[in-house]
């Protein structure tokens, strides 16, 4: 088991390793960040943004919450999107879900999860919206994984519907919003859809 004090040791070793690869690594990052990507993903510890797209610090601006949900009343998420689009000038926003997501699974089981059920309500809305996609012959796993995909697509629409993206597209900013789903079982990302100023295109 990793102890809390071990994390400082790991940090020092990591910093040394990064400096041995590129001595100017930290000094160049200290001046500014210039990422081209905003990642909106699940808080699940098995889906670390930088690592699975193999980008070093500075490569991707990140927002994560339970089940990668984007709602227009969430000032935290909206502030991240606004800063990424209007200050950092990212070119791509990626909403990345993952198969077997515990938040998605909890949204459709019958159990009482307490406060988090209020957050998961947004995913239950997606389930209701796509009720015809869920047939009795599907296994529980298949239902969860299909809802993981549909949730990503709906959250891409939610990003696209924010005033931030609508204003960006009005200014002819060619920014794109992508919907991806990651498989924890094999580490592979699958492309589900892209939303541009012209609308949403599914893969």
Q: With beta carbons less than 8 A apart as the criterion, state whether 74 and 66 touch.
A: no
> Among residues 46, 56, 121, 167, which one is catalytic?
46
> Among residues 98, 105, 122, 178, which one is catalytic?
98
Biggest alpha carbon–alpha carbon distance for the chain: 58
H helix or E strand, kind and range, residue 181:
strand 176-182
| DSSP-derived 3-state class of residue 40 | strand
101 catalytic per annotation: yes
- Residue 98 Cβ vs Zn ion, minimum distance, rounded to whole Å: 5
> Among residues 77, 96, 101, 148, which one is catalytic?
101
- Residue 114 Cβ vs Zn ion, minimum distance, rounded to whole Å: 17
- Residue 92 Cβ vs Zn ion, minimum distance, rounded to whole Å: 21
- Residue 156 Cβ vs Zn ion, minimum distance, rounded to whole Å: 16
Q: Closer to Zn ion at the Cβ: 168 or 179?
A: 179
42 catalytic per annotation: yes
Q: Closer to Zn ion at the Cβ: 158 or 175?
A: 158
Q: Closer to Zn ion at the Cβ: 103 or 179?
A: 103
| DSSP-derived 3-state class of residue 122 | helix
> Among residues 44, 145, 146, 148, which one is catalytic?
44
Residues 35-64 as b/e (b if ≥16 CB within 10 A, e otherwise) read bebbbbbbebeebebeebbeeeeebbbbbb
Q: Closer to Zn ion at the Cβ: 80 or 165?
A: 80
46 catalytic per annotation: yes
Residues 168-182 as b/e (b if ≥16 CB within 10 A, e otherwise) read bbeeeeebebbbbbb
In angstroms, the CA 183 to CA 99 distance is: 6
Q: What does the binding site for Zn ion look like in residue numbers (CB under 5 A)?
A: 42, 44, 101, 103
Enumerate the active-site residues.
42, 44, 46, 98, 101
């Amino acid at each position: 088991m990793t102890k809390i004090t071990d994390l400082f040791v790991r940090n020092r070793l990591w910093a040394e390793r990064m400096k041995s690869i590129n001595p100017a690594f930290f000094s160049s990052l200290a001046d500014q960040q210039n990422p081209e990507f905003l990642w909106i993903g699940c808080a699940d510890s098995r889906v670390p943004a930088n690592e699975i797209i193999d980008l070093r610090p500075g490569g991707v601006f990140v927002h994560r919450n339970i089940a990668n949900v984007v709602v227009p009343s969430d000032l935290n998420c909206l502030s991240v999107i606004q800063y990424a689009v209007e200050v950092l000038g990212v070119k791509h926003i990626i909403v990345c879900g993952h198969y077997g997501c515990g938040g998605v699974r909890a949204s459709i089981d019958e159990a009482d999860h307490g406060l988090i059920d209020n957050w998961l309500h947004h995913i239950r809305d997606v389930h209701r919206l796509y009720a015809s996609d869920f047939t009795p012959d599907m296994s529980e796993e298949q239902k969860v994984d299909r809802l993981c995909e549909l949730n990503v697509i709906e959250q891409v629409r939610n990003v696209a519907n924010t005033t931030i993206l609508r204003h960006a597209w009005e200014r002819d900013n060619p920014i794109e919003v992508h919907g991806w789903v990651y498989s924890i079982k094999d580490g592979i990302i699958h492309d589900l859809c892209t939303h541009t100023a012209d609308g949403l295109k599914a893969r």
